[in-house]
Structure 1
Amino acid sequence: MLTRLSRWVILWIDTPMWTQNLGIARTLIAVTGLATLAFNSMDTLIRPGAGIDVVPNCAGPARISAWCVVDPVDNSWMQILCILILALAASGWRPRLTAIPMWWVLFSNQASFTTVDGGDQVAAVLALLLIPVSLTDSRRFHWRHLSAAGLVGSGIYAGILARVTLVVIKVQVSFIYINACLSKLSVAEWLDGTSIYCWLRDPLFGPVGPLRQATDAMMLDPVLVASVTWGTLMLEFLLGISLFLPQRTKYVLLPLGVAFHLGIAVTMGLWTFAFAMWGALLLSLWPQGRLLYAMIMTARRIVEAFPRSASGLHDLSRPAGPPN
């Protein structure tokens, strides 16, 4: 029993932890806050709202927010500084040095801004949970894939800390999805299959222009409406229990989850939410992988196969023998 447990622990620790996918996830999380700051004015982000008379919010932990340590007249300079911090973190340079500043900026946005969405909140939480993993990351750029051999230079305890932290992140991401699924079950429109119809036709959240015309036409099909509505519930449920699913199932859920959040971004304009959740999906479903490498190799195989296919078609077009 102890021998089998020891072998499992060794295998668990030897699995690469500071991977290319971990770096991609960090970049996506940093881009969440970067897009918020780069494409919005401070007057839009920090403004009075319902029940919010004093802005920015500096109560409690928000006192350490970037927008509370400077005078409001200096917000434009702080905005530039925060954009530079997130751009540096997104570039992948020295995760050890950028981890805490990245979290500080994302926390500041979530804590002090009036107009935030779920993406800003998810990004702040994941950035906090990623700090132990990033502080034990010895890579110069997080785009490299540090194999198990790199564990020797980082230390066995660093490896254990990073591995345990990734498990905590997986639990957090699973909770986000299972909570999203279960909370919808108390809403009649989700149960009867009409919720997607309501959301896509909502004047505030629904699409506009030609896309609105296309979705309106699609929503005329009751089977399609019910399939998308109940399919959303099923996908969120499967992502919520992904901790207990085999890795081959997670490989299938990953592109489905990416497409799901891409659809939300295109139809409702929630792009920062999509960036945050794409990073969360990578950390939850495939943190040990090399996504960029896999994409490059797939593209290379397609390019190499295309000339052979074209050559085969060219040969088939030739006559079998000399003309009569």
Structure 2
Amino acid sequence: MPGQRLIAALERSVRAFPAESRALGAGRSTIALAQASVLLFTPASHLFVPVGGTDAATDCSTPVQAVALYCLAGTADRQLLNLVLLAVLLVVASGILPRYSTLPHFWASLSLGQSVSLPDGGDAVSQVVTFFLMLACANDRRTWHWQRPDGEVRSESLWQGLAWAGWWGVRLQVAYIYLNSALAKLPIGPWSEGSATYYVARMENFGAAGLFADMFRWATGITAIALLSTWGTILAESAIALLLLRRASRQAVAALISMALHVLIILQIGIVSFGLTMIGAVLCAASRGVDTYAPRGWRRLTRKGRAAPATCS
């Protein structure tokens, strides 16, 4: 019967799920380092500011907000609290005890996302992703998430089912974020017309900056490049969303597209922490594909390098 076949397929998927993943660990570390960079390079006076005519006091009115560090600590110095969260995030980024460090990582993400006055978008993403990572790492028994998996699948454990469900939660959430972003751009004039990147590069407070600012302004001044980069962004986001829900080889491609997209955005307009957060989130969502195909790609590259004939000068 169809119902029984579906249940059997789910059971096989759960049993085969690799609960110990280096790619998932790399994604977690990337997200934690992105969050740590905000605390390291931004003083508390710039994170907690008056918004909309209100003072800079932290809102602790809901149960979720009340468990944030800035609410639990009351009137303690916020710069000191930033250092506490920075220490937590650096421990998480180290990869120690992934099964247990996901809990303080989620708490740190919650503390930042629910308290900071001027979030950058990555805060909301990290809250949701680190919530599902608490489940996705539930059956990871390693001391460090950089260790090679021991190859033993503990499929009979309840934690295995939770880990599988958590990983799917990450995949579905990250795919939704990218698909929603792509579809939300379509009704907006500059995006549908293909001129959005031209205007973005020239925005006064949010435009091209850094070493490559002049190059990006020049490039987006060329109609064909502006059109390709604008629609290329929409197509890349759509592709990431769809590929994350496909089989392992497609997930690895989604990770590559995400890295290329966000590195280009970082080079053009900055927002480093947001870009790294999204790259880390996609690595977590595509971890099965990256674990499978990244080593194969590396071996092929190194094999070609060794096989290349020596040349005489």
Task: Return the TM-score normalized by structure 1.
Answer: 0.87
Question: Which of 99, 102, 106 is equivalent to 2:102?
Answer: 99
- Aligned residue for 1:228? 229
CA RMSD of aligned residues (A): 2.4
Matches within 5 A, 1:32-43: 32-43=34-45
1:84 match: 87
Partner of 1:309: 309
Give the aligned partner of residue 188 of structure 2.
187
- Counterpart of 2:142 (choices 139, 157, 180) is 139
Cα distance per residue 1:80-127 (max 9 Å; x no partner): 221111111100001133111111111111100112111121111111
**How do 1:226-265 and structure 2 match up within 5 A?**
226-265=227-266
Q: Equivalents in 2 of 1:37, 1:78: separation in Å?
A: 10
Q: Once the 2 structures are TM-superposed, how far is the Cα of residue 268 of structure 1 from its aligned partner?
A: 1.4
C-alpha displacement of 1:29: 1.5
Give distance in 2, aligned partners of 1:175 and 1:29: 18
Give the conservation status (yes or no) of the 8 Å contact 1:207–1:268: yes
- Name the amino acid aligned to 1:139: R
Letter in 1 for 2:96: W
Partner of 2:159: 158
Q: 1:304 to 1:201 in 2, by over 3 A?
A: same
Deviations for 1:21-44, whole angstroms, at most 9, x for unmatched residues?
Answer: 111111111112111111111111
Separation in 1 of the partners of 2:84 and 2:284?
A: 27
Shift of 1:287: 3.2
Of the two, which has the highest radius of gyration? Answer: 1
Does the 8 Å contact 2:31/2:280 carry over to 1?
Answer: yes
Alignment of 1:187-206 (within 5 A): 187-206=188-207
1:71: how far off? 3.7
- The answer for the alignment partner of 2:122 in structure 1 is 119
CA distance in structure 2 between the partners assigned to 1:213 and 1:261 by the alignment = 19
- Counterparts in 2 of 1:259 and 1:288: CA distance versus 1, 3 Å: closer
Q: Distance in 2 between the 1:7 and 1:126 partners?
A: 26
Q: Report the Cα offset of residue 137 of structure 1.
A: 1.8
CA 1:209–1:91: 2 relative to 1, 3 Å:
closer
Unaligned runs of 5+ in 1: 318-324
Contact 2:15-2:153 at 8 Å conserved across structures: no
Percent same amino acid at aligned positions? 24
Unaligned runs of 5+ in 2: none
Deviation at 1:77, TM superposition (A): 2.6
Question: In structure 2, the residue corresponding to 1:99 is in which secondary structure?
Answer: helix
* Deviation, structure 1 residue 288: 5.2
Separation in structure 2 between the aligned mates of residue 64 and residue 7 of structure 1, nearest angstrom: 39
**Given the alignment of the two structures, is residue 29 of structure 1 paired with residue 16 of structure 2, yes or no?**
no
Partner letter of residue 160 of structure 1? G
Displaced runs of 4 or more, over 4 A: 1-5, 291-296
Aligned with residue 15 of structure 2, among 13, 16, 40: 13
Instruction: Give CA deviations for 1:181-226 in whole Å, capped at 9, x if unaligned.
Output: 1111110111110011111111111123552211121122101110
Report the number of matched residues: 309
**Corresponding letter in the other structure for 1:226:** L
Superposed displacement of residue 250, structure 1: 3.1
CA distance in 2, matches of 1:295, 1:37: 35
Code of the residue aligned with 2:77 in structure 1: it is D
Please state if 1:287 is matched with 2:288: yes
The one-letter code sitting in structure 2 at the alignment partner of 1:90 is A
| Cα distance in 2 for residues equivalent to 1:241 and 1:90 | 28
Does the Cα contact within 8 Å between 1:119 and 1:273 map onto a contact in 2?
A: yes
